[in-house]
Amino acid sequence: MLYYEDQTCWSQDNFYSLNRYFNKLILYAHRRMSEIESLDISIMSRITQTLLYVNILSKDRTDLLKLSNLSGLSRIEPLPERLNLVDSPTDVHEVFKKYNIGW
């Protein structure tokens, strides 16, 4: 799956695509619970974990953090370096800004 891939050579477009994937996954969580329940955050990169977490927060789906496989996301810290998902981020999404992600 996209969220378990090595991200060493990823471009901004790759991270943007991953963010969009998580956006849809959380948006349609009621239909995608089996995938959400099977997520293994222990093998995700820190960036991937953070993108998943901010999408959960931005969609007000903190109920998902009660799942045993996602509970560790509550300990996520902001990324040490800014990750811009687009060329000219507007920072209109406060939760993304808080976790050092430009959107």
State residue 16's pLDDT score.
Answer: 96
With H, G, I as helix, E, B as strand and everything else as coil, classify residue 4.
helix
Helix (H) or strand (E) segment spanning residue 102: strand 101-102
pLDDT band at 20 (very low <50, low <70, confident <90, very high): very high
Displacement of CA 44 from its chain's centroid (Å): 10
- pTM of the full structure: 0.95
8 Å CB contact between 58 and 90: no
Separation of alpha carbons 80 and 35, rounded Å: 29
Q: What tens digit of pLDDT does each residue of 40-75 get?
A: 999 999 999 999 999 999 999 999 999 999 999 999
State residue 91's pLDDT score.
Answer: 76
pLDDT band at 92 (very low <50, low <70, confident <90, very high): confident
With H, G, I as helix, E, B as strand and everything else as coil, classify residue 83.
strand
